[in-house]
Amino acid sequence: RVTAMAAVHHGSFAVGHSIQHLNVPGTFGESRPVTVHLWYPAVPRVAVNSSYTSRLNGVTLLPEWDPLSWQVSQGVAHEAVPATMGGGPWAVIIFSHGNTNNAIDYAFMLEELASYGFIVAAPDHVGNTQDDVRIDFINAQAQFQLLPCFDNFTAPCARTNVPNSMINRVHDVSAIIDALTTWFGNRVDVSRIGMMASGG
């Protein structure tokens, strides 16, 4: 099921979207596979509009259960188009989602920020996302661990230890800063990086 949302684009730049993946150490030394959504000023061109979905989209469940298949289409960003140098290099906003949310919950706002000339990097903080909650729910319904946690720790996958979660978020942000020039080369200005976080 695809849900269309009204597009808002007040900035002067076309917006691109892509996804990168990082393996970030956790508080216990575990490998956390972190998905990072990137929105950025893009080269204007005809391209596929971005749509957003759960990391569990299409994952096989029990035979009698349909896999998750919903998508949200924003209608502003375009998928995997190149970043533009016009007006750059670009300052960065790193966005940290709220407790047991995902970066795509804020996609409408983050696309808008990119349209004003920012690179926006938004990680899904493994262990503290909606998808971790979904895995716990699916496993509870199955009455056994049908799906593993992303970090391969034992369930529950959604962790309630706030200090550990905050430390992991710091690790995620540091890993993104280290990777920015790999992703964007001379289109990114790493001397201008700001943080933004959800209050929820």
Question: In this structure, are residues 97 and 126 in contact, taking their beta carbons and an 8 Å threshold?
Answer: no
Please tell me the distance from the alpha carbon of residue 35 to that of residue 33, in angstroms, as a whole number: 7
Q: Assess whether pLDDT exceeds 60 at residue 5.
A: no
Question: Is pLDDT of 3 > 60?
Answer: no
Q: Which of 90, 101, 11, 108 is nearest to 50 (CA)?
A: 108
User: Considering the entire predicted model, what is its pTM?
Assistant: 0.92
Using 50, 70 and 90 to split pLDDT, how confident is the model at 4?
A: very low
Reduced 3-state DSSP string for the chain? CEEECCCCCCCCCEEEEEEEEEEEECCCCCEEEEEEEEEEEECCCCCCEEEECCCCCCCCCCCCCCCCCCEEEEEEEEECCCECCCCCCEEEEEEECCCCCCHHHHHHHHHHHHHCCEEEEEECCCCCCHHHHHHHHHHHHHCCCCCCCCCCCCCCCCCCCHHHHHHHHHHHHHHHHHHHHHHHHHHEEEEEEEEEECCC
What is the tens place of the pLDDT at every residue in 124-181?
999 999 999 999 999 999 999 999 999 998 889 998 889 999 999 999 999 999 999 9
In this structure, which amino acid lies at residue 160?
T
Q: Report d(CA 101, CA 6) in Å as an integer.
A: 21
What's the pLDDT score for residue 11? 86
The alpha carbon dihedral of 96, 97, 99, 102 has a sign of: negative
Confidence of residue 84 (pLDDT cuts 50, 70, 90): confident
Q: Considering only CA atoms, which of 52, 75, 42 is closest in space to residue 122?
A: 52
Instruction: Compute the distance between CA of residue 104 and CA of residue 122 in angstroms, rounded to an integer.
Output: 8
Percentage above 90 pLDDT, the chain: 76
